[in-house]
Structure 1
Amino acid sequence: MTYNSWNQHVVKKKNKELVLRTITSLAPLSRADIAQNSGLNKATVSSLVNELIDEEFIYESGPGESSGGRRPVMLLFNERAGYSIGIDIGVNYILGVVTDLMGNIIFEKNITVRNLSFKEHISLVKETIHILIQNTPQSRYGVIGIGIGVPGIVDKSGKVLHAPNLNWKDVNLKEIIEQEFDYPITIENEANAGAYGEMRFGVGQDCTNILYVSNGIGIGLGIILNGELYRGINGYAGESGHMVIVANGEKCTCGNLGCWEAYASEHALLKNAENCGISSTPTLEELIQKAEEKNTDTIELFQDIGFYIGTGVSNLIKTFNPQKIIIGNRLAMAKHLLEKPIVDSVRKQALIYHQADIIDFSKLSTHSTALGVSAFAVEDFLHISDQID
């Protein structure tokens, strides 16, 4: 291929991606609408639209409103052309979803786990993926990719450098999954994926500067700045669960003392409940029920956790001055118990110029991460996809 022909090929792919992106964002719309929104000429748009129809990425629907001439044929994105798989690996759960190309959940599988070895955890992840594949509908492109979110530090090659709450170190997760599944694999920090999931599908859809606090057994932070996921120089940003909020305080799973995670996570809540004698093997669901039944000791536990969540959140507000801070993952299920103590804590600790009314709770709850990694897989597929030639 000569340089000129290669260059023309690249330009065509870029233009085709632009047309597809315009349709996915603004559909239903006509060929003339696409030309107007994309800046491409009508002949180019018509040619690229015909190719996308042949490839089943888009389809024609009924005619639209006439502006004086013939009624235009409207175009829609075919979200069922392929399906993505998203996996959220938690300490006490594995959640898997099958989504279409617009992020709609078609099938899901949620497994509760406890004290698994590494081998057992990986085996269950693989088993979950097999179940999801078996329950994926037939389509032109089938399973287009698998995204996996992990609560730990993940490098750009898909290696989990350290996931303290899973007790994983230097795990080449991408390679392990690729050995069994012949699909594109994406490995991402679960808080990063959760932040992206909230921006795409959750309460952050109208925001471009978001902090997503993933609060489960551990605490992670996903950062969206100017509409882009911020990963840091090496991809390790967002380890805010390990910022110190109490000098020489409780020992954290990371080995340090006084980390936010040691005071404000689901793990801290369960540990406190056990120490108080509320339950010998407490679960979050059990504690929420006890609090709803007006058990004062349990209500106080949630108030204490809310105070410490607010302490960390106030530090984040002072550092980032975001549009919105979203509390997600499992503790989002306790919004009705945590919201007031968190907001009260922030109001006491934040500067007068900062506001507590930017705090929100995830409506996606435990699904933010799975939807986020699934969306990453979809975008990798649609971004100058091999099918889009």
Structure 2
Amino acid sequence: MLQPDSVEQTAGMPTKMNSSSIRRLNRVRVFHALRQNPGSSQRELGRLTGLDKATVSVVVAQLQQEGLIERMASTSVRRVGRPETALTIAASAGVLVGARLEPKTIRMVATTLAGEILAHMQIDGSRNVRRAITLLQKGIQELLTQAGENREVRGIGVGIPGMMNREGRLVLAPNLGWRNSEIRPMLEENLNAPVYVDNDTNAASVAECLFGICRTVRNFIFITGHSGVGGGLVLDGRLYRGTGGFAGEVGHLSIVPGGRACGCGKRGCLETYVSEASILARLEELGRTLPDIWAVAEAQGDPKVRQVLDEVGTHLGFALSHLVNLMNPELIVLGGNLAVIAQLLMPTLKRALAEHTLRPLLEDVRLEVSPLGADAVPMGGIALALEGFLTSSVVMAEERSQRRG
């Protein structure tokens, strides 16, 4: 799992470790330990989090008072003495919504606070920001109806394929055509719930740490491909954002000098060869028209499809070799729509990776496909919403306590 200070960065919280920050971090630790280990006792939560008995007791009491967790009779054999009760995330605690905004599609998922998927759906998107927000608003209403839930929406997390600075401002989303947009206030105004926004791949990287295969991995690269290609960089257990918050723009690594024109204004960027839109366009050039990446996977026996997939694997392996040589990660995770064709890319991808990567670093790294699949970014939205809700609810509790004092 991401280090606690990275969790705060993800939720837009300060990283200075004052007493208030420590309380928030303790709350996050206890909640996630219980989410990943349902039925744990307070004693077990202490062991899982490394927190002392008194701290765990205070956090559990607060979460229970707020209706976020509940006690239930334990069926396991305990030591002699006072019987311990098992704890679990309350099913009635609320609903989270995660979304991925793309030029042509909006993909959404609704979950419980424990991360259990209640419903997911995909609708048409738009490059017009106001139109996209309207579509998202209607889509969320339909999603919640599909989920059959009447519980409070605790937070909405949105992953956007664009450059987000550390203050949460959307600086550039070339595939959407959005620039310098205060997207979060616009979303909150229309969605009537707390909204948390981040770069789509950063969000998906957090989801891998909370819900996926990277819970115990401290150094990994997450690569996702939709309208573009993005990279999330987790170094020593922390999501690396860079000076301005723009780190991870893997899709704009130049792999073919003077190559295909990219929406960013440059040429030869990785995403002009590896993104879903680029794959479909390349197949169109070869006289093979397919609607989406799922159709590409189904047509894998077609010689033209095989040719394009081999080209994609070669380009992706070449780009990833540079990242491996720089970062020495233990894991590369392919997610989003890349996960749909990942196994088809592996032969050429691994060959290119081996050709261009220093051998000692190559021996350290392994390739995996995200279990979150096409829902990686929407689940990233869930991760953003969950972390934002957990930390902001502590702030509200502290404010209530101060008013009573």
Answer yes or no: same fold by TM over 0.5: yes
Partner residue of 1:378?
386
For 1:359 and 1:59, how far apart are their aligned partners in 2?
39
Partner residue of 2:142?
131
Correspondence for 2:375 among 367, 371, 388: 367
Structure 1 residue 8: deviation in Å? 9.1
Q: How many residues are paired up?
A: 376
Structure 1 unaligned residues grouped into runs of 5+ = 1-6
Compared CA separation, residues 305 and 61, structure 1 to 2 (3 A)? same
Structure 1 residue 217: deviation in Å? 2.1
Deviations 1:306-340 (A, max 9, x none): 11011111111111111111111112111232111
Give yes or no for the alignment of 1:358 onto 2:372: no
Equivalent position amino acid for 2:389 in 1: F
User: Which is further off, 63-72 or 240-249?
Assistant: 63-72
For 2:216 and 2:21, how far apart are their aligned partners in 1?
32
Structure 2 counterpart SS, 1:386 = helix
Give yes or no for the alignment of 1:283 onto 2:289: no
Correspondence for 2:309 among 302, 307, 313: 302
Compared CA separation, residues 266 and 247, structure 1 to 2 (3 A)? same
Deviations 1:240-289 (A, max 9, x none): 2111112222221111111111222222211211111122x643233222
Partner residue of 2:86?
74
For 2:20 and 2:230, how far apart are their aligned partners in 1?
42
Equivalent position amino acid for 1:379 in 2: E
Partner residue of 2:241?
231
Partner residue of 2:183?
173
Given the two structures, how large is their TM-score scaled by the length of structure 2? Answer: 0.84
Deviations 1:146-194 (A, max 9, x none): 1110001112343221111111112221121122233211110001011
For 2:356 and 2:20, how far apart are their aligned partners in 1?
56
Q: For the aligned residues, what is the CA RMSD?
A: 2.7
Partner residue of 1:186?
196
Correspondence for 1:61 among 72, 78, 88: 72
Structure 2 counterpart SS, 1:222 = strand
Deviations 1:38-77 (A, max 9, x none): 54355x6556544433322222211342212343222223
For 2:344 and 2:121, how far apart are their aligned partners in 1?
27
Partner residue of 1:255?
265
Structure 2 unaligned residues grouped into runs of 5+ = 1-17
Mapped contact 2:172–2:178 kept (Cα < 8 A): yes
User: Which is further off, 166-175 or 186-195?
Assistant: 166-175
Partner residue of 2:164?
154
Mapped contact 2:72–2:87 kept (Cα < 8 A): yes
Compared CA separation, residues 150 and 69, structure 1 to 2 (3 A)? same
Structure 1 counterpart SS, 2:73 = strand
Partner residue of 1:3?
none
Compared CA separation, residues 341 and 173, structure 1 to 2 (3 A)? same
For 2:198 and 2:377, how far apart are their aligned partners in 1?
9
For 1:100 and 1:367, how far apart are their aligned partners in 2?
15
Partner residue of 1:111?
123
Give yes or no for the alignment of 1:336 onto 2:346: no
For 1:29 and 1:120, how far apart are their aligned partners in 2?
45
For 1:62 and 1:307, how far apart are their aligned partners in 2?
55
Compared CA separation, residues 78 and 276, structure 1 to 2 (3 A)? same
Correspondence for 2:114 among 102, 124, 129: 102
Given the two structures, how large is their TM-score scaled by the length of structure 1? Answer: 0.87
For 2:26 and 2:339, how far apart are their aligned partners in 1?
41
Mapped contact 1:80–1:101 kept (Cα < 8 A): no
Compared CA separation, residues 210 and 161, structure 1 to 2 (3 A)? same
For 2:112 and 2:292, how far apart are their aligned partners in 1?
33
Compared CA separation, residues 38 and 316, structure 1 to 2 (3 A)? closer
